[in-house]
Amino acid sequence: MKTIKRFFVLAFFFVSLQTSFANMVLENGRDALVGVFWYDGTLFFPQDRYLMSEGGYGTVSSEQFQAMNPKDKEMIEAAANLLEEARYVFSGVLYGWRFHYQPSDKLRNVKEVFRLEPIAQIPVGDPNLEPLSSDQKGISLLRLQVRYHLTSKDMNHLAFRSSPSLLFSTGMGSGSIQENFAGRKEAIEQSVKEAIRNHQRKRLHAKPQILSGVAYLEQPPRVFLKSGKFWADSRVLFQLKTVKQYFLP
């Protein structure tokens, strides 16, 4: 697919998409984050559409895009969405989220609530976020390596993550394969929740009513397929701001 080859600098390497994952590399004295993200078009239904970022299709004009055949369009859309996924993941590494977690409690008829609110995000279209290389196999498999150049402010954010006030935990979460990229995001968010839950259930004797604080990805999570779902395996740093217990009479 010549369009894809013009759009990205290609380096021909391929690994099984079942085990590929995003990985963080700090280059040249800790000045960049590098991650690998993947897409398999055979997993999704033909009517599935992709949420495009405001950055559009990179160097491909709308006229060029409309003139492409459907499979070329799919790969261009997939590549743009992989960049958007990289923006989301790297933002979670650098800036993190505020979280609100209300664990479920059957005895009290309380449903689980978990929310993540970005503290900050890499701006859409940020020139510091760029594709390094892509690898396409067949007509549906795409693997994209993405780099984000760190600013001095970003370096300060990374330095904060070494604070002793941050707790560490790991968690795995799942997301719907039918939701495509939204399902991968769901898997990552659920893995953050599970990491916080796994840490606290070992330390709190009674189930809390509310937990809130800030959470960061220590590094981009491993995202893979298992039992018809997306799964994310995450290493999480977090700080508790509020631990509210139920009132015991």
Whole-number pLDDT of residue 40: 74
Instruction: Return the bridge partners of 185, or none.
Output: none
**Tens of pLDDT along the chain (249 residues)?**
333 332 332 222 222 233 334 444 555 445 888 888 887 766 643 333 333 333 443 445 566 656 666 666 666 777 788 889 999 999 999 999 999 999 999 888 899 999 999 999 999 989 999 888 777 665 566 788 899 999 888 888 888 888 888 999 999 999 998 887 889 999 999 999 999 999 998 888 788 899 999 999 999 999 988 988 999 999 999 999 999 988 765
DSSP per-residue letters across 91-147: HHHHT-EEEEEE--BTTTTB--EEEEEES--PPTT-TTEEEEEEEEETTTEEEEEEE
State how far the Cα of 233 lies from the Cα of 173, in Å rounded to an integer.
7
**Contact of 133 with 11, CB cutoff 8 Å:** yes
Look up residue 14 and give its DSSP letter: -
Give the CA count within 13 Å in the CB-facing half-sphere of 96.
19
Could you report the per-residue pLDDT of 135-181, keeping only the tens digit for each? 766 556 678 889 999 988 888 888 888 888 899 999 999 999 888 78
State how far the Cα of 50 lies from the Cα of 77, in Å rounded to an integer.
7
